[in-house]
Amino acid sequence: MGQSVTEKLIASHLVAGKCLPGEEVGIRIDQTLTQDATGTMAYLEFEAMGVSEVKTELSVSYVDHNTIQLGFENADDHRYLQSVAEKFGIYFSRAGNGICHQVHLERFGRPGKTLIGSDSHTPTAGALGMLAIGAGGLDVALAMAGEPFYFTYPRVARVNLHGFLPPWVTAKDVILYLLKILTTRGNVGWVLEYGGEGVGRLSVPERATIANMGAELGVTTSIFPSDEITEKFLLSQGRKEDWMPLVADAGTIYDRVLDIDLSALEPLAACPHSPDNVKPVREIGLVEVDQVCIGSCTNSSYKDLATVASILKGKKVHPRVSLVIAPGSRQVLSAISRDGYLTYLIEAGARIMESACGFCIGVGQSPPSGGVSLRTSNRNFYGRSGTRDAQVYLVSPEVAAVAALTGKILDPREAGITYPQVMLPDFFPIDDGMIIPPKTPQERERVEIIRGPNIGLPPVNEPLSRDISGIVTIKLGDKITTDHIIPGGERMKYRSNIARYADFVFEVIDSSFSTRAKAIKEKGYANIIVAGLSYGQGSSREHAAICPMYLGVKVVLARSFERIHAANLVNFGILPLTFLNEGDYFRIREGDALNITDIKGRLERSEEIVIENVTQGVSFSVGYTLTEREKNLIIAGGALNARKK
Ligand code: MIC
Ligand code: SF4
């Protein structure tokens, strides 16, 4: 029997566990990436491990999220990150150099390697034939310290792409189509492996758009073969020697096979407020647009922006529309400038932003009240743009460009514009001057780590107590994202200051949560979060576990969890439990007092866990899917405590 690309990559990096779906495996990590918003905490955790240098082949620290630098906090964080990189042998990509995933694709990603990153869109590098997985900062810190990365051995779905993308239909529409059929929940534990003759017609940046938004499906990662297209891309980056072929064997048996006819796709949009609320653009009807934002790690490549520029060339942006363009990297910006496209964008009235995440994470460019914003990014969760009553649609750069001109959501095929066919250049302008390489061991010894007043210590949990007496502090519905749990945007400047950031837990949906949680904690009770299906969708931010932990949350009881968030809860000693009967979920109420007796012993003996609802006078059994390793982390009060032991 043949092997898939996924199987080959896991087998060649396996250090623990058995390659059987559902089993926990540990793999050796070749590369890591961090970004500034998750990176400060990840490096504080790394420092707490007492290791003198990173043990990976390559680790990169990017600054791309909090680049607005209002107040001293962001700049202090960046200075801390730069000094840590110098101290421990890490590449440092400075603010302005670009979004981590775009730059990693251009300058560092290599077929056949493993990568974990403290950002959920790390699988973007799957476009190069890497096994690239998003994780919490602590898991990345552990990998930098030379520990394996543990995850559930996946089931692999083969996605066969056939035919050609018609004019105006793009890679974004491929992944929006998949989101429509697979949705944002129920895909935990799967890898999507792309193949079929249609793959050979997609460039690496187009593959990257598809792999990127696999994060929204909730899959472990997405992976493309490494073929001649990959080779050509690496050649255009002056990195031909980094190429190696990597394809699935003939006769490989997959757990599921999906076939997509590219020729039958059409322009799609994810409507408010979920990436899986997908409709054909032609069915949306008349919607007037106030803002168009083109950029983010999903769609900010040379091809994306050159296509947009060709559509806008010689025309002016609609008077109601604010058109914002954030190139994915300094390389993209310099290439579109070299080839004249930047001029068309400027002449059309585009507002050129820094090469950074920016609008995508609510750092600037919040839409007007009740406004409609069309974005090429990957998430339109409620409140993420910074304007709670805004309506955010996710579309391709082509649909976005046509909306910028016409002021409405329009099927671009109806706009009377000739489709511009943009080719990738043979060579990109290569200038790594904004990437500071690692120092020599002698130089490292002299480096002092710089800590501003915004940098606190990573908080640690207490070991698990024998019994838990707690209160249901909040009861939530389905598909609660980490943006709901702890907001991004202007609040992100407190990423290194947990005591302050914790004030904003659930701010978007229930601004009194943190006050209530603090009062419950002070009375000596545990806080318990109750949630529906697919709790913890979206980002990898471990702050969605650390801040609740800081407020005294000991248990999250949900109908189901998303992968990265569940791992983050365990890493910080919060117990993820699942409802076995949906009736128990519907019965439980906010404010109910719950008792769990002998929890520690029951976990140790792998026994059933029963929750007594004291308020309602009923008891019910709950489930858990923790491995022995994870149980030990919970019992120790988190991974930092366990490692100290
Ligand atoms: C996001 O897109 O939500 C982020 C901001 O990139 C996060 C990471 C973070 O919260 O810092 C992610 O996707 O993991
Ligand atoms: Fe940055 Fe947005 Fe990509 Fe997250 S999804 S890494 S915020 S561009």
Cα 380 to ligand 2 centre (Å): 12
Q: What is the number of H-type helices and E-type strands within the chain?
A: 23, 27
Mean pLDDT of 615-644: 96
| Mean of the per-residue pLDDT values of the chain | 97
Predicted confidence (pLDDT) per residue in 300-350, tens digit: 999 999 999 999 999 999 999 999 999 999 999 999 999 999 999 999 999
Ligand 1: which atom is nearest the Cα of residue 118? 14
Name the closest-CA residue to atom 4, ligand 1.
539
Residue with tokens 């490494």: 226
d(CA 59, CA 303): 28
Between 3.40.50.620, 1.10.472.10, 3.90.180.10, 3.30.499.10, what CATH number should domain 279-413 receive? Answer: 3.30.499.10
468-644 matches 279-413 in CATH topology: no
Q: Which of 584, 396, 364, 380 is nearest to 475 (CA)?
A: 584
Name the closest-CA residue to atom 9, ligand 1.
541
DSSP states of 34-85: EEHHHHHHHHHHHHHTT-SS--SSEEEEE--SS-S--SSHHHHHHHHHHHHH
Residue-level pLDDT at 95: 98
List, in sequence order, the alpha helices (H) in 468-589: 482-485, 498-501, 513-522, 543-550, 563-571, 582-587
pLDDT confidence tier of residue 160, bands split at 50, 70 and 90: very high
Residue-level pLDDT at 458: 83
Does the C-beta of 358 come closer than 6 Å to ligand 1?
no
What residues are in contact with ligand 2 under a 6 Å CB criterion?
A: 65, 99, 119, 121, 296-297, 357, 360-361, 377-378
Residue-level pLDDT at 454: 86
Is a pLDDT exceeding 80 seen at residue 394? Answer: yes
The beta strands (E) that lie in 309-454 are given as: 322-325, 351-352, 372-375, 391-394, 435-436
Mean pLDDT of 551-566: 98
Is a pLDDT exceeding 80 seen at residue 598? Answer: yes
Does the C-beta of 120 come closer than 6 Å to ligand 1?
yes
d(CA 550, CA 521): 10
Residue-level pLDDT at 460: 86
The rounded percent of the chain whose pLDDT value lies above 90 is: 98
CATH superfamily to which 5-263 belongs:
Aconitase, domain 3 (3.30.499.10)
Between 3.40.50.300, 3.20.19.10, 3.20.20.70, 3.90.700.10, what CATH number should domain 468-644 receive? Answer: 3.20.19.10
Q: Are 100 and 35 in contact (CB under 8 A)?
A: yes
Residue with tokens 């749990």: 485
Q: What's at 411, amino acid-wise?
A: D
d(CA 327, CA 305): 7
Q: Region of 285 please: left (phi>0), alpha (psi -120 to 50) or beta.
A: left
Residue-level pLDDT at 478: 98
Residue-level pLDDT at 1: 81
d(CA 255, CA 159): 11
Site to substitute for ligand 2 among 297, 299, 564, most atoms within 8 A of C-beta: 297
Q: What's at 628, amino acid-wise?
A: E
Cα 359 to ligand 2 centre (Å): 9
Ligand 2: which atom is nearest the Cα of residue 488? 7
Mean pLDDT of 622-636: 97
Name the closest-CA residue to atom 2, ligand 2.
360
Cα 357 to ligand 1 centre (Å): 9
d(CA 220, CA 567): 12
Ligand that lies nearest to the alpha carbon of residue 136, given by its number in the listed order: 1
Is a pLDDT exceeding 80 seen at residue 70? Answer: yes
Mean pLDDT of 478-482: 98
Predicted confidence (pLDDT) per residue in 506-528, tens digit: 999 999 999 999 999 999 999 99
What six digits make up the tokens of 136?
């919490």
Grouping H, G, I as helix, E, B as strand and the rest as coil, residue 605 is: coil
Site to substitute for ligand 2 among 33, 36, 62, 65, most atoms within 8 A of C-beta: 65
Site to substitute for ligand 1 among 505, 539, 543, most atoms within 8 A of C-beta: 539
Is a pLDDT exceeding 90 seen at residue 12? Answer: yes
For the chain, domain boundaries: 5-263, 279-413, 468-644
Site to substitute for ligand 2 among 63, 212, 360, 385, most atoms within 8 A of C-beta: 360
pLDDT confidence tier of residue 352, bands split at 50, 70 and 90: very high
Residue-level pLDDT at 485: 98
Predicted confidence (pLDDT) per residue in 239-295, tens digit: 999 999 999 999 999 999 999 999 999 999 999 999 999 999 999 999 999 999 999
Residue-level pLDDT at 80: 98
Kindly give, in sequence order, each residue whose CB lies less than 8 Å from that of residue 587, ignoring residues fewer than 6 positions away: 613, 616, 618
Ligand that lies nearest to the alpha carbon of residue 133, given by its number in the listed order: 1
Predicted confidence (pLDDT) per residue in 445-467, tens digit: 999 999 999 888 888 899 999 99
- Three state DSSP letters for 263-307: HHCCCEEECCCCCCCEEEHHHCCCCECCEEEECCCCCCCHHHHHH
d(CA 610, CA 593): 14
Ligand 2: which atom is nearest the Cα of residue 298? 3
Q: What's at 324, amino acid-wise?
A: V
Name the closest-CA residue to atom 3, ligand 1.
539
Name the closest-CA residue to atom 3, ligand 2.
297
Phi, psi dihedral angles at 219 (to 5 degrees): -75, 160
Is a pLDDT exceeding 80 seen at residue 645? Answer: no
